[in-house]
Structure 1
Amino acid sequence: MKFDLHTHHERCGHADGMIEDYIIAALDAGLEVIGISDHSPYFGSKQDQPFPGIAMARSDFQSYVDEVLRLKEKYKDRIEVLLGMESDFFPQHADTYRDAYRNIPFDYLIGSVHQVSGVSIFNRNRWKGLSDEKQISEKTAYYELIQQSARSGMFDILGHIDAMKGYYPAFSDIPANDVIDDTLRVIANCDVAIEINTSGGTKDVGGWYPSDAILERALHFGVNVTFGSDAHKPSRIGEDFELVRKRLKEIGFSQWVFYRKRQQIIVPL
């Protein structure tokens, strides 16, 4: 079975195409399941859209849900369309986000940490001039936020868990293996999946998230994995799916998962 759970579209302000364009691209790519998971609004802000070009407006949220549900019905005989969302995780606003998602018929929610110490993880300049100790502190803070997101109970999947290396490949060399192992233990204990996210190929680091080393540790701790292209244009749907499947088998995985109505579906590799 071929699936892709991480896709975006024009509502977020930095992706190309409408939702239906991604569904059509998924059909063309031979997928059986396509998840729609655009960036959540900033529910922690009272403004409708405090950061245009980063996430959808609060006023777009219901229309997003309605459109996915309409397309789910329209394409039900051709491909399974899943209603998801990539949700920011801010501990101080977790209850607000949880309330916003209540009573929405999501198939799954992806929880992603996009900011550490108030700065985007993709900010190229955040590492300039930092001492070794401060770099370790920032990496540790990133993984501690990921642990909190797993414990929150809000999410089925955690997004791109080493994406902080996207524009700073040296991130992988910052010594913090203990906190990574602690994070993987927490994720396994909380029965949350991690995605293999192939959008690293669009950034300086190349490849995908997380690294093979982290995937090997994830297998050791019993963490479930899933697949997401993190496509911001329809042509990237399912990108590197077969390469990822092959690599997971080489590492020793025998299955991966997707979600339907917040229930885990196991798919043999």
Structure 2
Amino acid sequence: MKFDLHTHHERCGHAEGSIRDYIEAAIEGGLNVIGISDHSPYFGREEDHAEPYIAMAKSEFSHYISEVLRLKEEYKDRIEILLGVESDFFPEHADLYRQIYEQYPFDYIIGSVHQTGGVSIFNRNRWKKLDDVQKIKAKEEYYRLILQSARSGMFQILGHIDAMKGFYPQFSQLPTKAVEETLKVIGDVGVAIEINTSGKTKDCGGWYPSDDILERALYYGVPVTFGSDAHIPSRIGDEWELVQRKLREIGYKEWVFFRQKQPVSVPL
């Protein structure tokens, strides 16, 4: 059972190809299940399309959902298509996002922290003027938001939980107990984390999260899933078999995908 739950398409403004292109690539790649999970609009902003190169417009959201559901029916005999979305997590707007998502039949929602202090986690310049203490505080703020997102009850999956290392690989070595504390909470509430293979497209290389985080996640009973975070169709299912092998080595026995917000266990 091969699946990929984290995919994007042209609506977000920084991915290439249509939803159909990703579905066809998934079929060609031998996937049984493909989740479509483009970036949600910035519902907390007044503008219809607040960030044209980051997320879809509010006015596109219902069209996005309708298209996925139509293609789900069209391809039902060839591949299972799941309706998802990658949602930013802003605590001050959480209730608004929740109310909007409850209107639609999502199979799963990925909660991802992309900003702290109003600055992108991928902004390499944010680190340049910080001393070591400030860098640790920045890391702790990131994990504080991830912990809150886990407790919010809004999400089935937490996206790329150490992606702040993307353009600052030293991030992983910043000493703090925040990562351990966050993993414990994630395990307690039962939300899954993804192994996201898009780290290879950033300076850090590899996957999100790192192997040591996955080892601690196993200790705390955190479920895991797979997402390529594909922004081009050719990355669908990228390194799926390598991730499967690594999870077995670490000691995982299963991983999950979500259908109608319920976990479906897949033996490793």
Question: What is the aligned length?
Answer: 268
Q: Partner of 2:47 in structure 1?
A: 47
Distance in structure 1 (CA, Å) of the matches to 2:264 and 2:184: 21
Q: Where in structure 2 are there 5+ consecutive unaligned residues?
A: none
Q: Partner of 2:239 in structure 1?
A: 240
Q: Partner of 1:258 in structure 2?
A: 257
Partner of 1:161, secondary structure, is coil
Partner of 1:126, secondary structure, is helix
Distance in structure 1 (CA, Å) of the matches to 2:52 and 2:104: 24
Q: Partner of 1:133 in structure 2?
A: 133
Distance in structure 2 (CA, Å) of the matches to 1:82 and 1:234: 16
Q: Is residue 2:223 matched to residue 1:220?
A: no
For residue 262 of structure 2, what is the amino acid of its counterpart?
A: Q
For residue 215 of structure 2, what is the amino acid of its counterpart?
A: E
Partner of 1:109, secondary structure, is strand
Distance in structure 2 (CA, Å) of the matches to 1:97 and 1:69: 20
Q: Partner of 2:202 in structure 1?
A: 203
Alignment of 1:94-113 (within 5 A): 94-113=94-113
TM-score (norm 1): 0.99
Q: Deviations over 1:248-269 (max 9, x none)?
A: 0000000000000000101000
Alignment of 1:132-151 (within 5 A): 132-151=132-151
**Following superposition, which runs of at least 4 residues in structure 1 exceed 3 angstroms of deviation?**
none
What is the deviation of 1:103? 2.1
What is the deviation of 1:48? 0.1
What do you get for the CA RMSD once the two structures are aligned? 0.5
Alignment of 1:148-163 (within 5 A): 148-163=148-163
Partner of 2:108, secondary structure, is coil
Q: Partner of 1:115 in structure 2?
A: 115
Q: Deviations over 1:208-227 (max 9, x none)?
A: 00000000000000000000
Distance in structure 2 (CA, Å) of the matches to 1:123 and 1:21: 30
Distance in structure 2 (CA, Å) of the matches to 1:147 and 1:124: 23
Partner of 2:125, secondary structure, is coil
State the percentage of identical aligned residues.
Answer: 69
Q: Partner of 2:175 in structure 1?
A: 175
Q: Deviations over 1:140-183 (max 9, x none)?
A: 0000000000000000000000000000000001101x111110
Distance in structure 2 (CA, Å) of the matches to 1:4 and 1:99: 27
Partner of 2:181, secondary structure, is helix
Distance in structure 2 (CA, Å) of the matches to 1:25 and 1:126: 36
